Amino acid sequence: MEHAYPRVGLLNPRKDSLMDIDLKESLKLLEGKISDWYEGIIKLIPNIAVAFIVLIAFMILAKMAKKLVAQILPRLTKNKAVINLLTTLTSFGVMLVGLFVALEILNLDKTVTSILAGAGVIGLALGFAFQEVASNFVSGILIAFREPYQIGDIVKAKDYFGEVTKINLRTTSLMTFDGLEVYIPNKYLFTEPFINYTTTPTRRLDILVGISYGDDLDQVEKITREALEAIEQRDTDREIEIYFQEFGSSSINFQVRIWVEYPGHQSYLKARHTAIKNIKKAFDKNEITIPFPIRTIDFGIKGGKGLADALQSVDFSTQSLHQ
């Protein structure tokens, strides 16, 4: 009977020697790489030191530029948001230039190119995504410098009429005379027409008036002028203008034009209020009629019948019907 004995594997000396050789070569390669890196770092130590000094210098320069801009900008605009924004952008810009210079000193040209390319792509994408926001933002900065209106001015933009209460980088707030707060994007106020009533010290007030056909026009003009001279808000350096305009269906219509001081919309409304009251009182005192809308039927015109003949014809027709 045969017995089975376990087979014992024998070591292969040749294979073990090959593994030792590969390990030694790998260690030598790693040692060479580390040595090269070490030598490269040693060589870059002067450049690193110079780059570090450059960064510190640009940090100091950024602080100085920020202080300088903070002193100059208040002379150009009073908007604190714009001042803070531009001072921060100035400091950031100087630091960014310093970073690029430091990278150039470290011979990292490809890194600088990659950063600029990436920033360009990101900026282009953000520009398309936030086009309206950027437009309002830039318009807000330009409005802050040009100051076409200020807080407290009476402005009419599109269908909105009120007092400017806030000027932000993106929107301008108006408080209408109905007590409603309206936010208008700065883009529209910068690119489209609007009226600023506060920038002009005076404003013309127009009033339409109608008088009876039986009134004396010269007397009407004289009495109206005297009635309007008593208005306190009137600009006395400009004459009162009265122009007859048309023969209306019920009255002869004329327009009154007076210039009033415009410190605010309330003053303008008071001037209109006083002018209408004064005209009405003066007309009542001098028996000048402001007629109601009326219709006059004239039976005596050419080709027609007189009133008496017309009434007689009506009576005759009525009697015929009764018979």
Residue 216 has a pLDDT of 92
State whether 184 and 108 are in the same domain. no
User: Is residue 290 included in any domain, yes or no?
Assistant: no
Band of pLDDT at residue 227, cut at 50, 70 and 90: very high
- Nearest Cα to 233, choosing from 265, 197, 198, 196? 265
* CATH code of the domain containing 68: 1.10.287
* CATH code of the domain containing 171: 2.30.30.60
- Nearest Cα to 274, choosing from 234, 242, 237? 234
State whether 176 and 221 are in the same domain. no
Round the average pLDDT of the chain to a whole number and report it.
Answer: 79
State whether 227 and 277 are in the same domain. yes
State whether 189 and 257 are in the same domain. no
* Per-residue pLDDT at 300 exceeds 60: no
* Per-residue pLDDT at 253 exceeds 90: yes
Model confidence, pTM: 0.57
State whether 179 and 225 are in the same domain. no
Of 27-41, 104-118, 125-139, 231-245, minimum mean pLDDT range: 27-41
Which tokens hold the place of 322?
Answer: 């009764």
Mean pLDDT value of segment 303-319: 57
Domain end call among 196, 227, 251: 196
State whether 239 and 266 are in the same domain. yes
The domain tally of the chain equals 3
- Which is more confident, 141 or 14? 141
Domain end call among 176, 196, 216: 196
| Tens of pLDDT, residues 9-44 | 444 555 555 555 666 676 667 666 676 666 666 666
SS3 string, 214-271, reads CCCHHHHHHHHHHHHCCCCCECCCCCCEEEEEEECCCCEEEEEEEEEECCCHHHHHHH
- Nearest Cα to 90, choosing from 76, 71, 117, 112? 71
- Nearest Cα to 169, choosing from 155, 156, 185? 185
Rama region for 179: left / alpha / beta (φ>0; ψ in -120 to 50; rest): left
* Per-residue pLDDT at 258 exceeds 90: yes
User: Is residue 19 included in any domain, yes or no?
Assistant: no
Domain end call among 196, 224, 253: 196
* CATH code of the domain containing 233: 3.30.70.100
State whether 70 and 36 are in the same domain. yes
> What range does the domain containing 163 cover?
149-196
